[in-house]
Amino acid sequence: MNYTGPKVRLSRRVGIALTPKAAKVMKRKKGGPGEPRFRSRRRQMSDYGRQLLEKQRLRYQYNIPEKQLRNYFKKALSKHGNTGDILIRMLETRLDACVLRVGLAKTIYAARQYVSHEHFQVNGVKVKSPGFQLKPGDTLQVKEGSRKLACFREALSQAVPPVYLQVSKDELKAQLVSLPKREEIPVECDLGQVIEFYSR
């Protein structure tokens, strides 16, 4: 099940800002939710605890359920190549993740909602599944009836899209020009720890 609680609290728990609001709060408030401002001694994290934290960081940055992330790992494991790189590439080419990276949504939560509410087309066909997998050459676009909504242009005006997405701001349109490389993907996570967690 997807997390629906306070995003700032969740961000402080995993130590990374999941929304612009969380980024502002975390500059003022250090540490996790409920922690005293100054700690004389920090509890050392176990290997399992570190693996779990990194897995949760990855999961929350893409806003996907545990079962779905585990299925992505199994698919990545069955392919030839570096499992971590394949896993992150599969997550990054989801439709909702691409909508976020392009800049048509300010958060992954908004991106998922926009896709679910049928505001987007892929290659001219309406798609409402946030997990729809894009391939190089695929084009995503805000459908004609939704282009008048201010939320898309407002988000896009502040966006800095990655190199693997080519954007036309006037048309509210983008194309996945190539599969992303790990170093191009703006995700804070130790993938090695995630692989170890699922390989136990």
pLDDT at 29 over 80: no
pLDDT at 196 over 90: yes
pLDDT at 185 over 70: yes
Total number of residues shown for the chain: 200
Domain edges within the chain? 7-90+189-199, 94-178
Fold category of 94-178 in CATH: 3.10.290
Fold category of 7-90+189-199 in CATH: Ribosomal Protein S4 Delta 41; Chain A, domain 1 (1.10.1050)
- CA trace torsion 60, 161, 83, 107 (10° rounding): 10
Q: How confident is the model at residue 36 (pLDDT cuts 50, 70, 90)?
A: low
Average pLDDT over all residues of the chain? 90
Confirm whether 7-90+189-199 and 94-178 share one CATH topology. Answer: no
- 154-184 tens-digit pLDDT: 888 888 899 999 999 889 999 999 999 999 9
Arithmetic mean of pLDDT, 41-46: 72
CA distance 17 to 13: 10
Global confidence as pTM: 0.88
